[in-house]
Amino acid sequence: MQVVEPAINVHEYIMWGSANAVALAGQAVLVAFFVFFLLASGDLFKRKLVGLAGRSERQRATTVQVLDDVNHQVERFLVVHVVGSLIVGVATWAAFRWLGLEQAGLWAIAAGVFNGIPYFGPVIGAVGAAVVAFLQFGTIPMAMIVAGTALAITSLEGWLIMPMLTSRLVRTNEVAIFVALIFWSFVWGVWGTLLAVPMLVAVKACCDHIDPLKPIGKLLGK
């Protein structure tokens, strides 16, 4: 008698997903502690960087200007994305409730969180919602409708709302953002995807204020 193994080993997928979830939770704890100690240090590193910038007042003033510009640009970038994610979350909740999807609030929160990951986040959220819709309704057309609705909401937010909100921020071109996402996602995984754009914004702000690096700032800009 020949034993036929199942095509999909659910146990292995559960173990693999659990291990990844534990690893991600551990990294989240490390990031939380890092942010806490960084905030607790106040302007310590700012003063150290200014002291290392050089002896001339011009060099120190340039360093202070670069640090302030990076701080403001990243702060504005994060505020804009938080607002955009809130809009996506509310719109997704209303749409999923209208479609009759169970746990619409939970998936709306997930859509808002994934929306913070440029390019890849909305796709991940739409695929997850499609799988849940297929399990609930049992039909592929309904799963496609749910996924299409999620993508439509994030696309409208990304094409209409975000450009208006970010028009006065640092003008970084889409190619540079996409390359940064691919590179940092490969280096740091999920955290690299989340931090790629803020790091790119910080790099461009530095290049815009340092004369030898201004061509790089123009290359990264629109």
Query: Do residues 44 and 38 touch, judged by C-beta distance below 8 A?
Result: no
Collapsing DSSP to helix, strand or coil, 118 comes out as coil
Q: When comparing pLDDT for 120 and 199, which is higher?
A: 199
Q: Which residue has the tokens 């859509």?
A: 111
Q: When comparing pLDDT for 152 and 155, which is higher?
A: 152
Q: What is the pLDDT of residue 95?
A: 92
Q: What is the pLDDT of residue 204?
A: 85
Question: How many independent structural domains does the chain possess?
Answer: 1
Please state the separation of Cα 213 from the chain's center in Å.
26
* Beta-ladder partners of 172: 221
- Report whether pLDDT(2) > 70: no
Q: What is the pLDDT of residue 121?
A: 76
Among residues 149, 114, 116, 115, the alpha carbon closest in space to that of 130 is found at 149
pLDDT band at 127 (very low <50, low <70, confident <90, very high): confident
Q: Is residue 135 part of a domain?
A: yes
Give the lowest-confidence range in 2-11, 87-96, 137-146, 193-202.
2-11
Q: Is residue 147 part of a domain?
A: yes
Query: Do residues 201 and 74 touch, judged by C-beta distance below 8 A?
Result: yes
Q: What is the pLDDT of residue 90?
A: 92
- Report whether pLDDT(145) > 80: yes
Q: Is residue 144 part of a domain?
A: yes
Q: What is the pLDDT of residue 115?
A: 82
Q: Is residue 16 part of a domain?
A: no
- Report whether pLDDT(156) > 90: no
Mean pLDDT of the chain: 77
Q: Is residue 168 part of a domain?
A: yes
Q: Is 49 exposed, middle or buried (0-12, 13-18, 19+ CB in 10 A)?
A: middle
Residues 64-106: pLDDT tens digits?
A: 777 777 777 778 777 888 888 899 999 999 999 998 888 888 8
Q: Is residue 50 part of a domain?
A: no
Task: Give, in degrees to the nearest 5, the angle at Cα 151 between 149 and 154.
Answer: 110
Q: Is residue 38 part of a domain?
A: no
Collapsing DSSP to helix, strand or coil, 82 comes out as helix
Q: What is the pLDDT of residue 45?
A: 67
- Report whether pLDDT(134) > 60: yes
Q: Is residue 203 part of a domain?
A: yes
Provide the domain limits for residue 131. 63-220
Residues 161-177: pLDDT tens digits?
A: 776 666 566 677 777 87
Query: Do residues 204 and 170 touch, judged by C-beta distance below 8 A?
Result: yes
- Report whether pLDDT(8) > 60: no
Q: When comparing pLDDT for 107 and 58, which is higher?
A: 107
